[in-house]
């Protein structure tokens, strides 16, 4: 079996373990390439049957419009159920307070919406597309990662995880985050997308866009980004290497609109994928802190 086949077979087996071990799982779908890959893997795991879980999207309201459009089309094609949790609802309910200032982002707020959505749906397992090569705290995480009643990850108390035996036993109120593509690298995902001919939102490919320079990075100009006179809008050919909120995902200058060229560009890049994520740069342990608080 070649390398991608091995990764695929492992991910399918993990998804089937989720189906077998949990009462009410959910697949967290962000509209990014990793969760789109997860959906493909779920098809491979469960067709011709239905998915034993709905897709759950936490909508910050600050998404790229292309991602939402893509999401709705994909869900319609799949014939599966989609549940959306809105950060705007959490704001309206007074559960979170919108950040202000130039670097305002809803990224941190979505944890609250996520935890509420998990509670409301009574989900006992949430499948996510995080990979260990993304970030140093993620490099430490188990494939089945237990969260307490408050959604918290405790890196010091992770369960041993041996061979391909995953322990999904939990107490009421706890849930498990499951990461089937833990062992995939960014390039593995791209190579798989190419091999399987998986469709992606257009923002992943080079396109003309209005951008402004922020902290040394190109950010998409949008109504969600707080801009002032100092910000100069420039039109550039860019693409996105990772897709989160418009306010925290930076673009890379690129004229590559074909997957082969993108794969080549990434393999030659000197910057990591999450180098384009403002949300990771807040502090040395930004991701660890967010994960402890219940983040994806």
Partner 1 sequence: MDILKFLTAGSVDDGKSTLIGRMLYDTESILQDQLEAIQNSSRKNDDGSIDLAILTDGLKAEREQGITIDVAYKYFQTEKRKFIIADTPGHIQYTRNMVTGASNADLAIILIDARKGVIEQTIRHSYLVSLLALEHVVVCVNKMDMVDYSEEVFEKIHADYHSLAVKLNLHEVTFIPVSALKGDNIVNNSLNMPWYKGKSLLDHLETVPVREMDALLPARFPVQWVIRPQTEELHDYRGYAGRVASGAFKVGDTIKVLPSGMRSKIAKIETFDGEHAIAEEGKSITMHLEDEIDISRGDMISEAERQPIVSNLIEADICWMDTRELDTSATYFIQHNSKLTRCKIQEILYKVNINTLEKVNADAFGLNDIGRVEIKTADELAFDPYETNKRNGGAIIIDSRTNVTVGALMLRAAL
Least distance in Å: CB of 64 to partner 1?
23
d(CA 101, CA 105): 9
Least distance in Å: CB of 150 to partner 1?
17
Applying CB under 8 A, which residues contact partner 1?
1, 3, 5-6, 8-10, 12-13, 16-17, 19-20, 43-50, 132-133, 135-137, 139-140, 142, 155-156, 158-165, 167, 169-171, 182-183, 185, 269-272, 275, 284-285, 288
Least distance in Å: CB of 263 to partner 1?
14
* 233 versus 285: smaller Cβ distance to partner 1: 285
Is the CB of residue 248 less than 8 Å from the CB of residue 214? Answer: no
* 9 versus 76: smaller Cβ distance to partner 1: 9
Least distance in Å: CB of 138 to partner 1?
8
* 70 versus 184: smaller Cβ distance to partner 1: 184
Which residue, among 178, 188, 189, 180, has the nearest Cα to 243 in the 3D structure?
A: 189
Least distance in Å: CB of 115 to partner 1?
21
The residues, ordered by sequence, that sit 6+ positions from 186 with a Cβ below 8 Å of its Cβ are 131, 133, 134, 266, 273
CA distances from 212 to 92, 226, 250 (A): 30, 11, 10
* 133 versus 261: smaller Cβ distance to partner 1: 133
Angle at 132 (CA atoms; ends 108, 177), nearest 5 degrees? 60
* 48 versus 101: smaller Cβ distance to partner 1: 48
* 6 versus 258: smaller Cβ distance to partner 1: 6
Sign of CA dihedral 138, 15, 34, 79: negative
Least distance in Å: CB of 102 to partner 1?
22
Segment holding 113, helix H or strand E: helix 110-121
Least distance in Å: CB of 13 to partner 1?
4
DSSP 220-259: E--TTS---TT---EEEEEEESS---TTTBEEEE----SH
Least distance in Å: CB of 156 to partner 1?
6
Classify residue 159 by its DSSP letter: P
Is the CB of residue 47 less than 8 Å from the CB of residue 16? Answer: no
Strand order, beta sheet including 82-86: 82-86, 55-59, 25-28, 125-127, 175-178, 144-147
* 69 versus 148: smaller Cβ distance to partner 1: 148
Which residue, among 86, 52, 80, has the nearest Cα to 68 in the 3D structure?
A: 86
Angle at 95 (CA atoms; ends 93, 97), nearest 5 degrees? 100
């Amino acid at each position: 079996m070649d390398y991608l086949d091995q990764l695929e077979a492992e991910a399918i087996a993990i998804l089937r373990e989720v189906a077998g071990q949990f009462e009410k799982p959910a697949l967290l779908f962000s509209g990014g390439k990793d969760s789109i890959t997860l959906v493909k893997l779920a098809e491979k795991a469960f067709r011709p049957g239905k998915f034993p879980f709905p897709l759950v999207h936490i909508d910050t309201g600050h998404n790229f419009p292309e991602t939402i459009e893509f999401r709705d089309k994909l869900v319609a094609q799949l014939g599966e159920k989609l549940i959306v949790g809105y950060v705007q609802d959490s704001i309206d309910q007074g559960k979170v307070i919108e950040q202000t200032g130039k670097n305002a982002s809803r990224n941190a707020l979505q944890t609250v919406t996520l935890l509420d959505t998990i509670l409301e749906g009574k989900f006992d397992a949430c499948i996510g597309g995080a990979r260990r090569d993304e970030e140093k705290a993620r490099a430490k995480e188990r494939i089945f990662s237990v969260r307490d009643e408050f959604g918290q990850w405790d890196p010091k108390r992770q369960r041993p995880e041996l061979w391909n035996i995953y322990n999904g036993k939990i107490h009421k109120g706890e849930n498990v985050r499951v990461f089937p593509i833990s062992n995939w690298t960014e390039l593995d995902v791209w190579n798989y997308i190419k091999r399987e001919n998986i469709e992606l939102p257009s923002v992943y490919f080079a396109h003309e866009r209005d951008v402004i320079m922020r902290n040394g990075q190109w950010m998409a100009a949008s109504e969600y980004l707080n801009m002032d006179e100092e910000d100069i809008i420039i039109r550039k050919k860019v693409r996105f290497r990772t897709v989160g909120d418009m306010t925290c995902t930076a673009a890379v200058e690129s004229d590559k609109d074909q997957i082969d060229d993108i794969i080549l560009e990434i393999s030659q890049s000197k910057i990591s994928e999450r180098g384009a994520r403002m949300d990771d740069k807040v502090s040395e342990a930004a991701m660890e802190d967010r994960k402890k608080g219940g983040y994806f």
